């Protein structure tokens, strides 16, 4: 099973982890690391190193971060480039986290990345678009 480290600014990571646990329950091979304003790049790097040591990353490791270019993303990117089988995905939201935590078993880190990007594109929508899809489906069922 792929290991996951979730990180983001403020209480982003622990907040998503709490919501995930409420919906899915406890998850194996998963660690959330917050990056509050009182933290530093050096401290976050140390926390990532400790998390990697606590996880079994033999099947791969995926870092999930909140913002492209932010400190959690940059630290994760540096660590991902140090070893094959590591990926960094940024712009995480609850829907993407839930779907990918459930789908990660049996995926390589590359397959996880590709599937997560697809999921992210599918997950961003609007009420108007969803209502349009519903109307289109209804019209097909009626034979129009």
Judge contact between 6 and 31, C-beta under 8 A.
yes
The CB density around residue 103, as the number of other CB atoms within 10 Å, is 15
Percent of the chain whose predicted confidence (pLDDT) is above 70: 94
| The predicted structure's pLDDT at residue 124 | 84
| The predicted structure's pLDDT at residue 53 | 96
| The predicted structure's pLDDT at residue 142 | 62
- How much is the mean pLDDT over the chain? 92
Domains of the chain, by residue range, sit at 3-141
What's the CATH code, domain 3-141?
3.40.50.510
- Say if residue 114's pLDDT is above 70: yes
Q: CA-CA distance, 38 to 133, in Å (whole number)? A: 45
| The predicted structure's pLDDT at residue 140 | 62
Q: Which of 60, 88, 54 is nearest to 74 (CA)?
A: 88
Residues 50-64, mean pLDDT to the nearest whole number: 95
- Say if residue 64's pLDDT is above 60: yes
Q: What is the pTM of this model?
A: 0.87
């Amino acid at each position: 099973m792929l290991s996951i480290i979730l990180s983001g600014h403020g209480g982003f990571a622990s907040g998503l982890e709490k919501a995930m646990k409420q919906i899915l329950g406890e998850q194996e091979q998963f660690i959330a690391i917050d990056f509050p304003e009182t933290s530093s790049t050096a401290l976050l790097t140390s926390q990532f190193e400790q998390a990697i040591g606590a996880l079994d990353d033999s099947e791969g490791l995926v870092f999930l971060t909140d913002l492209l270019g932010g400190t959690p993303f940059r630290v994760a990117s540096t660590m991902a480039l140090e070893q094959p089988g590591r990926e960094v995905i940024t712009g995480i939201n609850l829907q993407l986290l839930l779907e990918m935590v459930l789908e990660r078993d049996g995926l390589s880190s590359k397959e996880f990345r590709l599937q997560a990007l697809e999921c992210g594109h599918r997950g961003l929508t609007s009420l108007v678009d969803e209502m349009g899809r519903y109307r289109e489906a209804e019209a097909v069922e009626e034979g129009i």
